[in-house]
Amino acid sequence: MQPQKAQKIDLAQSYPCPCRRRGQLTQIALTEAFGCNRCQQIFVVEEGGYVLEELSTSYRYKRTWRWNGHQWNGVSSGLNDSYLPIVLGVVLVLLIIGLLLALTSTTHSGVAFWAVVLLLLALLPALMVLLAYRR
């Protein structure tokens, strides 16, 4: 099934809330913004009337949607989606390097040292991903 083309958002119409709380978006008088009667969020129309953006201070990244005539489709920024593969690649490279260094070490204290270093280096990118993806 082909995705439907995005339609221009009409400020005179009422739309369902994209936050999935069964609210209705109605225009806020004298603005190019919508307000939800259920979740009390404010949304502005961007990009020539094709994108709805949530105005919120609780989320670090802007949440945006496009209207296809029946429902809202989330718009991803692209950069957020690429965090996970990059961090997984970095952790994998660090694990391979640490494993090679640990195996070439001749003493047990050297293996323990490299194991601790490797664990710390693997936890740092994992912590960064956790902080980037939390809401």
pLDDT digits (tens, 9 = 90+) for 58-101: 666 678 889 988 888 888 765 555 666 777 787 788 778 777 77
Instruction: Please give the Cα distance from 52 to 75 (Å, whole number).
Output: 9
Across 42-46, 111-115, 122-126, which has the greatest mean pLDDT? 42-46
DSSP state of 68: -
In this predicted structure, the answer to whether residue 1 has a pLDDT above a threshold of 50 is: no
**pTM over cut 0.85:** no
Residue 43 contacts residue 54 (beta carbons within 8 Å): yes
- What the block records as the tokens of 3 is 């995705």
pLDDT digits (tens, 9 = 90+) for 24-55: 999 998 888 899 888 888 899 887 888 888 88
Taking residues 9-37, what's their average pLDDT? Answer: 87
HSE, CB side, 13 Å, CA atoms: give it for residue 99.
7
